[in-house]
Amino acid sequence: MTTKVKKSREELLRALSREEFYVTQEAGTERAFTGRYHNCKTPGTYHCVVCGEPLFSSTTKYDSGTGWPSFYAPVDEQAVATKEDSTLWMRRTEVLCAACDAHLGHVFPDGPEPTGQRYCMNSAALKLRPAKAEDGEEG
């Protein structure tokens, strides 16, 4: 079970950029092809920008052509939570950080093998921690 991280609105406003707050706290979406990680090839682990929990590995990242960073699996099934999202007159599955409930993006059943899932995330919700070059470990 993931320990919940709770931060006040004031803490979040101080810690996050305007876009990071909009995406993670107001379930916003950055414009396609504008996020810092949509075309990133750097090896490492993507962490929640709000609480720092590891969410996705660069080893599961792929180019979905959508303009957002896409992954076929989280680092651990318990790292993310999902809930139904029926905004914008469609039914989608919202993806949240399991530790702090930050909005990350959505998951769709049109991804590659081995999972068939496309976790379509907002760069503004993520912080990449590059792998250490000298030993190949993630930092």
Confidence of residue 2 (pLDDT cuts 50, 70, 90): low
Tens digits of per-residue pLDDT, 19-47? 999 999 999 999 999 999 999 999 999 99
* CATH fold of 9-130: 2.170.150
Average pLDDT in the chain:
91
Is residue 138 pLDDT above 50, yes or no?
Answer: no
CA 70 to CA 138: how far, in whole Å? 19
- What's the N-to-C CA distance of the chain in angstroms? 24
pLDDT of residue 58: 97
- Taking CA atoms, 50 is separated from 9, 24, 62, in Å, by 12, 8, 24
- Residue 122 near residue 26 (C-beta atoms within 8 A): no
- Residue 108 near residue 21 (C-beta atoms within 8 A): no
Q: Which of 48, 51, 97, 120 is catalytic?
A: 120
Tens digits of per-residue pLDDT, 62-121? 999 999 999 999 999 999 999 987 776 678 899 999 999 999 999 999 999 999 999 999
**Could you confirm whether 120 is annotated as catalytic?**
yes
Q: Give the domain ranges of the chain.
A: 9-130
pLDDT of residue 133: 56
pTM above 0.75, yes or no: yes
